[in-house]
Amino acid sequence: MTTNHRPGHLNLNAFLMSSGHHEASWRLPQSGPDATGHDIAHLRRLAQIAERGRFDSIFFADGPGLQGDVGRRPSGTLDPLIVLTAIAAATERIGLVATASTTYNSPYNLARRFASIDHVSAGRAGWNVVTTAGPDIARNFGLDAQPAHAERYARAAEFLEVAFKLWDSWEDDAVVADKAAGIWADSAKIHPPEHVGRYFSVAGALNVPRSPQGRPLIVQAGSSQDGKDLAARYAEAVFTAHQTLGDAQEFYRDLKARTVAAGRDADGVRILPGIVPVIGSTEAEARAQERELDELILPQYAQRQLARTLRLAPEDLPLDRELPADLPDEDEIEGAKSRYTLVVRLARRERLTVRELIGRLGGGRGHRTFAGTPEQVADTLQEWYDAGAADGFNIMPAALPSGLEQFTEHVLPVLRERGLFRTEYEGTTLREHYGLARPANRYATAEQVGA
């Protein structure tokens, strides 16, 4: 009952974002004014395309603040849990994953919201657990500075412990609804956490009965050392960004080993690197599309953003020079550590100028961009899958909806022909799509669990 099975094909998540992952996608002639993160009809349509493709899940990133230049690209996104709920009503099977921060939420309220979405969607909810980098966001929550990186991850671990207790606080058979006796639920089957810890004290049981999946699927997306340790202990799927097969293989081996060391089954965590596919009917056409997008980037926006990431002034980054020689170590970064390292390594390895680096980051903010034919895209996915770099992929179309439609219509059939992807959903819950068992309730007796 509690063993996990690699589903025999790769897992695909559709990472949805306004007009697409390329920062200039909104400027394409075919991009409509509705292609934003606050137009629910647009977001619903994207989810329906992904469901038609039989993707395992859709996903929304999030941070509780308005970040970056609002001139640069569509900004301002609805609360992703509200978006998931609206999409749940317009889809049947696809998994629904949203990001929420452990630094700027309280466990009781957030655990309840995810349990609620799991109920409303009949078992399709997933939570991308993030610790949220950035001083600007801290200032929206009464703090002068962000809590230190290690502190944020320690809080995240305790947050999850509390959430797991809350999700188990009702046994599956707590509701008896005995009209004759006048007993609606059996209070002996409801277990208040009475949690007292370093960051949280949470006394009472959740005010929502246990949800169809027991708890939402736990997703994690930070790749620092602390991030990987959190994933090893709790995550069931991991989103990650790598530019090369070697880096991805190293990450994959490392995380699976940490998961086993944490006492879990290596198959209990699915690793999904991101890829920004730019698809053409010929390779030349794909490259032309990529060029069209890159030429729409206004370098001053990206230069300001890169300066923020590297903690420099924009003047320190002349467009046609390489990055300055002396940059801080990852150790000194209190924000998003792994993203910082990825950007610096990429620039150094390929000796990119600032302008070239900006071009490379414009597509996927550090994720790998790949331009090619549907066969070439399928080839690279298969290569990474076969080479032990991935259990599946986080598909990040450069332009939306067009890029998702192209992937669904042209790449998925190739993957299916090769036996690498499902034709139909076999299960109904997100856990079933990922081949993961429903977790037993910690309070249930062995008999009830069917062991």
Ligand X SMILES: Cc1cc2nc3c(=O)[nH]c(=O)nc-3n(C[C@H](O)[C@H](O)[C@H](O)COP(=O)(O)O)c2cc1C
Give the footprint of ligand X on residues 18-77 (CB under 6 A): 61-63
Q: Which of residues 153-212 bind ligand X (CB under 6 A)?
A: none
At closest approach, how far in Å is the CB of 429 from a second copy?
Answer: 16
For residue 153, say whether it is annotated as part of any ligand binding site: yes
Q: Which is nearer to ligand X, 172 or 407 (CB)?
A: 407
The only residue of 53, 212, 274, 374 in contact with ligand X, by rule CB under 6 A: 274
Q: Does 434 belong to an annotated binding site?
A: no
Q: Does 243 bind ligand X (CB under 6 A)?
A: no
103 is in an annotated binding site: no
Is the distance from CB of 435 to CB of 5 less than 8 angstroms? yes
- Nearest-angstrom CA–CA distance, 52 and 408: 8
Minimum Å distance from CB 393 to a second copy? 28
Look at the block and give the residue holding tokens 């770099």: 389
- The least CB distance from residue 350 to a second copy, in Å, is 26
DSSP annotation of 322: B
Kindly report the backbone phi and psi dihedral angles of residue 370, in degrees, each rounded to the nearest multiple of 5, phi listed first. Answer: -140, 120
Candidates 196-204, 283-291, 295-303, 335-343: pick the segment binding ligand X (CB under 6 A). Answer: 335-343
Residue 38 is labelled as binding a ligand: no
Tally of residues, the chain: 451
- What are the C-alpha distances in Å from 407 to residues 13, 29, 208, 282, 348? 12, 20, 38, 14, 32
Using rule CB under 8 A, residue 126 touches a second copy? no
Establish whether 149 is an annotated binding residue. Answer: yes
91 lies in the binding site for a second copy (CB under 8 A): no
Dump strand ranges (E) for 123-269.
125-130, 175-178, 183-185, 195-196, 201-202, 217-220, 237-240
From CA 399, how far away is CA 393, in angstroms rounded?
17
Among 57, 77, 91, 132, binds ligand X (CB under 6 A): 132
Report the residue from 5, 6, 66, 148 that binds a second copy according to the rule CB under 8 A. 66
Pair 14, 57: CB distance under 8 Å: yes
- Rounded to 5 degrees, φ, ψ at 279 are -105, 130
Report the residue from 160, 241, 317, 343 that binds ligand X according to the rule CB under 6 A.
Answer: 241
CA 78 to CA 389: how far, in whole Å? 33
Q: How far is the CB of 382 from ligand X (least distance, A)?
A: 21
Tell me if 363 contacts ligand X by CB under 6 A. Answer: no
Residues 86-105 binding ligand X (CB under 6 A) are 99
| Residues from 34 through 63 that contact a second copy (CB under 8 A) | 38, 40, 63
And the tokens for 298? Answer: 């206004």
The residue (of 190 and 312) whose beta carbon lies closer to a second copy is 190
H or E element, residue 259: helix 245-261
223 is in an annotated binding site: yes
Tell me if 275 sits within 8 A of 242, measured CB to CB: no
Q: Is 200 helix (H, G, I), strand (E, B) or coil?
A: coil
Supply the minimum distance, in Å, between the C-beta of residue 130 and ligand X.
Answer: 4
Beta-sheet strands, E only, within 35-156? 57-60, 95-101, 125-130
Told to check if 129 binds ligand X by CB under 6 A, we report no
Selected from 136, 294, 405, 409, the binder of a second copy by CB under 8 A is 136
447 Cβ neighbours under 8 A, 6+ residues apart: none
415 closest CA partner among 431, 390, 432, 392: 392
Q: Residue with the closest Cβ to ligand X?
A: 222
Contact partner, 154, from a second copy, ligand X, none, Cβ < 5-8 Å per class: none
User: Which residues are annotated binding-site positions for FMN?
Assistant: 62, 99, 149, 153, 223-224
Contacts to ligand X by CB under 6 A: 61-63, 99, 130-133, 149, 221-224, 226-227, 239-241, 274, 336-339, 394
